[in-house]
Amino acid sequence: MMLPSLTMKLQVSTLLMAWFGVLSCVQAEFFTSIGHMTDLIYAEKDLVQALKEYILVEEAKLSKIKSWANKMEALTSKSAADPEGYLAHPVNAYKLVKRLNTDWPALEDLVLQDSAAGFIANLSVQRQFFPTDEDESGAAKALMRLQDTYKLDPDTISRGELPGTKYQAMLSMDDCFGMGRSAYNEGDYYHTVLWMEQVLKQLDAGEEGTVAKAQALDYLSYAVFQLGDLHRAVELTRRLLSLDPSHERAGGNLRYFERLLEEEREKQSLNQTEAVLETQGGLYERPVDYLPERDVYESLCRGEGVKLTPRRQKRLFCRYHHGNRVPQLLIAPFKEEDEWDSPHIVRYYDVMSDEEIERIKEIAKPKLARATVRDPKTGVLTVASYRVSKSSWLEEDDDPVVARVNRRMQHITGLTVKTAELLQVANYGMGGQYEPHFDFSRVRPRSLVVSEGPTLIDLRRLELLAAFQPPYHPPPSPFLPHQGRLFVTGEAQSGATGSVEPALTLLLFALILEQRTSVGLCENYSLS
């Protein structure tokens, strides 16, 4: 009996290698761009396909081995029953020698055949373009940002009950542990407590996972200690030691916590201490080390913003906008809608077609890079945790659609794009945000003289100030006089070191903030 053909070749999906070219063009920080994260969806899909092909090869290999084993079992049971009689037949004697000399070594080669080599090779190539620890941490922080903004508790998030979502996705106990650990590694003990408590809740509900209760208690006990809840830290550490008495760090922590607790009791009476501890009761306030504007914009995200009174709403209208009778807009004016009365905010509809939008996205995607801000100390562009997005800048030479869109912007605003920034395409990632900020400087210029009489400000002194836009929120600038008249002068000659228009814009913004209404502009400048 001859052994069936043992020649097998692993057919691994070539789609894996196709994604090599796609992902190699993508920078890290996938969490900052949903556009780039979609590439990961397709890459993972192809990995699954390659894995299934590997499984099929392994199953085919095992099927051949199993078939061979069954045939050999039937044959050997017959030959072993009467060895001499079996070998009396010369054909049986020949086949026995052949099997042991040829077929069994061939079977050995089949068993030793590494059918996983191709899959592992492709996976290793792709792995260098996989998300990193930074991406996982960024994704976790994004989820926590949504948790805070929309006032969602971990239990709601773990059940996948998020408002406005199309698909339901639940967080396992291991996922929740990963969230808490990411917060812990960032020194965010507030969210560490919330997510480690969720881990314990799901464990108590009978959910199975790879995380032990002692691990969650280890993180939780230290986090509540960092939040100042010494009494609960002692309680949780004791629970941890009851589950794992050999836990050395927990034993050391317990002795340390108990010593601190005793010192607290020595400083004040027992009743006062208990009163302080009882006020915490496992409930902790969100840290206040954030911008005061955050409460305002988070309430706006939740739809809790200020509302116009009926009287003010009556002042809002819809109209066709022809840009002061721009010829191009007389036949096809834009739809304009008032959104707010003061300051006047309008919305334009159908400015771009779906085809134009998709084309701009197509040419922008390869250029997407992490959005940056200017460091106020060094003046160097750098990434910031409060700007979670990727952006790209498109020039008119990139594609005709860019020039068309720019022309429309000119027609709508009545302004030229020659002195404007390039067309920017921003793609926000998970929990994408850009916290409240100013696009102008409010730093006090030392060269300006404040007086109560007429004040003359040379815009050329503000040029560098206008180009420097810090990403923080300083207090209102006191450089503008609160009394007397203000005169502004400046020159914009060819060959000068820079244009004064940005400085003028800066100054006008500052005047608006200072609520100045009496301003004289010299050197051919006007307020129109």
Cα separation, 175 vs 160, in Å, equals 12
- The per-residue DSSP string of 59-109 comes to HHHHHHHHHHHHHHHHHHHHHHHSHHHHHTSHHHHHHHHHIIIIIHHHHHH
Residue 96, token pair as written in the block: 């026995």
d(CA 325, CA 351): 17
Q: Which SS3 state, helix, strand or coil, does residue 417 take?
A: coil
Q: What is the largest CA-CA distance in the chain?
A: 128
Nearest to 185 by CA among 140, 239, 248, 246: 140
Between the alpha carbon of residue 15 and those of residues 9, 21, 32, the distances in Å are 18, 11, 26
φ, ψ of residue 83 to 5 degrees: the values are: -55, -45
Backbone angles phi, psi at 489, to 5 degrees: -130, 155
Q: Which of 386, 371, 365 is nearest to 138 (CA)?
A: 386
Question: So what's the pLDDT on residue 216?
Answer: 95
Nearest 5°: the CA angle 167, 134, 221 is: 85
User: In 10 A of CB 209, how many CB atoms?
Assistant: 14
What token pair was written down for 147?
């948790």
CB 506 within 8 A of CB 476: no
pLDDT of residue 468: 34
Which segments within 288-330 are labelled E, that is strand? 318-321
Q: Which residues of 177-191 are buried (b: 16+ CB within 10 A; e: fewer)?
A: bbbbbbbbeeebbbb
Question: Rounded to the nearest 10 degrees, what angle do helices 400-413 and 354-364 cross at?
Answer: 120
How many Å apart are CA 370 and CA 426, to the nearest integer? 10
* Helices (runs of H) and strands (runs of E) counted in the chain: 21, 11
Question: Which stretches of 341-449 are assigned E, i.e. beta strand?
Answer: 345-349, 369-370, 373-374, 381-382, 389-394, 423-428
Q: What local confidence, expressed as pLDDT, does residue 290 receive?
A: 61
**What is the C-alpha to C-alpha distance for residues 162 and 153, in angstroms, rounded to an integer?**
10
Tokens of 495: 């060959």
SS3 content of the chain, % helix, strand, coil (to 5): 55, 10, 40
Residue 297's CB is within 10 A of a number of other CB atoms, namely 16
The whole-angstrom distance between residue 472's C-alpha and the CA centroid of its chain comes to 21
Beta sheet of 318-321, edge-to-edge order: 318-321, 334-340, 345-349
pTM for the whole structure = 0.63
Task: Identify any residues that bridge with 391 across adjacent strands, giving them in sequence order.
Answer: 369, 426
- The Cα 199–Cα 139 span in angstroms is 18
Phi and psi based region of residue 229 (left: phi greater than 0; alpha: psi -120 to 50; beta: remaining) = beta
Query: What is the length of the chain?
Result: 528
Is cis: bond before 333, omega within 30 of 0?
A: no
Average pLDDT of each block of 10 consecutive residues along the chain (528 residues)? 36 38 50 70 83 88 90 88 83 80 84 79 76 81 87 90 77 92 93 95 92 94 93 94 92 91 76 50 73 77 82 92 84 91 90 93 89 75 76 92 92 86 85 71 47 39 34 37 44 38 48 44 36
Please name the residues in contact with 262: beta carbons below 8 A apart, sequence gap of 6 or more. Answer: none
Q: Per-residue DSSP letters for 134-202?
A: HHHHHHHHHHHHHHHHTT--HHHHHTT--TT-SS--PPPHHHHHHHHHHHHHTT-HHHHHHHHHHHHHH
pLDDT at position 195, please? 95
Cα–Cα distance, 56 to 519 (Å, whole number): 79
CA 206 – CA 201 distance, rounded (Å): 9
